[in-house]
Structure 1
């Protein structure tokens, strides 16, 4: 069994991005929009800020009180869409219950939607014409490159159908793999399905859901679920148990999370480069 070290993979990506940014005249900038004061969300934002500053991406944080109106949030996003210094925009989820998530995410223009969460961006991605790859899906691909499992010969099981991880990962892999099975809360016998997987990706947020008796010997196991368990961050996979049977496995923390942040910033750098090309093209 080999541990897929997300921190090491993320560092490699960050080093590459740092070299690219050093050659750019216009510094990339990421704008993060958030409403509320949830400690977990603020912690995720801090992680993004730390990584951005580490590689030379400007980080702009716009924090609203939880009671903010939809109009104020959309107005800010509209201004950021038009701001040439801003390369990418994300809205940190979850939003307070009164704010319409769909309308707010759809306010971000596709060329700055580095999280790939607006309807337009997601449709383009599902058609195979994306401006960007959703960061969690990009992170999963990075792990699979290291595991060297031939996707065209592999059966893949994705546990979880969430819009942040499960859906984009499934959409990315469906054209690349031999067989794709998606499991959710309606799946009657989860263990029966997961045992078929050469590659198992779980993104539910239920601690220790996946046990070793639920996987095929030698499977690649990617744990993209996170939740608080006994005062600590835990993944969907019972790491100590499943690692006895898997060929490759990601830990939580230190697995998918750091690589997802690195892939988000890779999208920001890509957006900045595209913006520069557009400016050059329209210059009189």
Structure 2
């Protein structure tokens, strides 16, 4: 039996007396596209931050490819093959699009803390950055300062930075937030393309995005997973419908 890409075992997180995550058990297989949904205040962001190392668990554990990473720092988890994006766009606004992507490549391509390297002259680094720019459809914006990009372009750039390190687990936190329908369609197509063959975990309010992308959906309510199944079964679940207070899942975003 293959080892899951991500496994959560009895995961709990409390802030003072407030218990936000309450004994979550979850396995996400390698190559799976997995969505985490739930009403506002369900604990989705907290769960996301526990997996990526921003928060340490109060109890339970997080396993990456079978290895316990509970309490490790985000950069340590990143170097073990997990990369994430953020709800608020997290890019270097005063650097060009190309420079942003190149920064995302440095550690994985062996530069690490070698301050004596002049990266401008490294052809293989430039070629790899340009390859990613083509993947995220920003080649024509290569030399534009990132802060001058349109919002959807900035989100695409952040996805490019996220995949630049070569991680095999990609976690995206509301990648389509604040976008128009046409922008959302473009980003969904981009996510599908750049995560091909990788494990994808996405938190997103737009149910259209979730049902379009996900192989499996976990529904988090008051810190507990009440359902983890295929999109079709989640859509039909009475417990999930009740969690969204009688709204259809398509309207819940």
Answer whether TM exceeds 0.5 for this pair.
no
1 or 2, which has the higher strand percentage?
Answer: 2
The answer to which structure, 1 or 2, has the higher relative contact order (CA under 8 A, 6+ apart) is 2
TM-score by length of 1: 0.30
TM-score by length of 2: 0.33
